[in-house]
Amino acid sequence: MVQYCRKCGHELDDDAEFCNECGFALNDNPTKETANQVPEKTTENKPVGNKNEFLTRLPLILAIIGIIASVGEGLGTPMLMGWDNIILAMVFGVVGGLIGIFLMEKMDEPLIGAAELIVAGILVFMFIGRFGEIAAILFIVSGILALYVKGMNYNNKKLFAIPILTFVLVFVVLIAGGALYQFNAANSVTVGNISQNITNDGYGYYSGEVSGDIRVDANFDYLEVTVNYYDNQGKVIHSTIGWNEIHPESQKTYTFEGHYFDQKQPAKAEIKVVDSASSTTPLYTENITILTNGGV
């Protein structure tokens, strides 16, 4: 029986084991070669999707927006918060944000950069409160997202000193500057000519006012005179603003009046001068005993 080479098609003898034309082994299983071969797995070079790339860049984007927001919110903060607080919030927002970005992007220190961004957000909120909450949130979210996307890696642990020193420096400046400011401000405000005129009107009510003068001898962003009235048990029964002014003129004397109208008889009045609506440390305080005049 005539056979043909399976490889080249040459006619061969019936008992031939090899093709005398191409040398092909005729007794080999034609499927053996292909059966033993494992097909190579091809992997496609899948490009990084736009979604993943955006997520990787999102911490940087949020940090930049946070820097812009810290300046914008600082400029929009009411002056009664104090220009010193506003300026410090903007400075720490810009400087802290830039340092955080540099550590995170240029020095490949995601953990330390994230810590600096979170510190910047805390400081912005600490200085201007809710007026800087957008910038604070952006910085904190940027730092947390950086840890999630870039990992908690750090190469030089000595760089941890940057966010730590930032926080320490703030408190040193606040303590030293606050003490000096409080001393100078307290000596720049003088209250005098205090008088009282609280009357029992005979119809179950007490009415009148505590009044006086306040002399301003320095530049302030804001000043306020508050008069608190107390009963015999030392409980506040009425509180009123006797005078307030944004940017009061230096070397000028103002008049304040803290009015009272209530059924309870006041026993004491406390006069306080503060330099912001949220201040807990008055620049001046004085207590007077209320002498109620007879009514009708």
Q: How far apart are alpha carbons 117 and 65 in whole angstroms?
A: 12
pLDDT for the residue 38: 46
Q: What is the mean pLDDT of the chain?
A: 82
Q: How far apart are alpha carbons 139 and 122 in whole angstroms?
A: 9
**Any idea what the Cα angle at residue 109 is, between residues 103 and 112, rounded to 5°?**
75
Q: Which residues pair with 255 in a beta bridge?
A: 213
121-155 per-position pLDDT tens digit: 988 998 888 899 999 999 999 999 988 888 887 77
**Most confidently modeled of 36-40, 203-207, 244-248?**
244-248
The DSSP bridge pattern shows strands 189-200 and 206-216 to be: antiparallel
pLDDT for the residue 32: 47
pLDDT band at 282 (very low <50, low <70, confident <90, very high): confident
More confident residue, 79 or 198: 198
pLDDT band at 64 (very low <50, low <70, confident <90, very high): very high
List the domains of the chain with CATH numbers. Answer: 1-32 (no CATH), 50-184 (no CATH), 189-289 (2.60.40.10)
Reference 209, options 260, 136, 278; nearest CA is 260
pLDDT for the residue 46: 46
Q: Which sign does the torsion angle of CA 141, 144, 147, 152 carry? A: positive
* The 206-216 sheet, strands edge to edge: 189-200, 206-216, 252-262
pLDDT for the residue 63: 93
pLDDT for the residue 142: 92
Share of the chain above pLDDT 70, in %: 84
Is pLDDT above 90 for 202? no
pLDDT band at 111 (very low <50, low <70, confident <90, very high): confident
pLDDT band at 8 (very low <50, low <70, confident <90, very high): confident
Is pLDDT above 80 for 226? yes
Is pLDDT above 90 for 268? yes
pTM of whole model > 0.75?
no
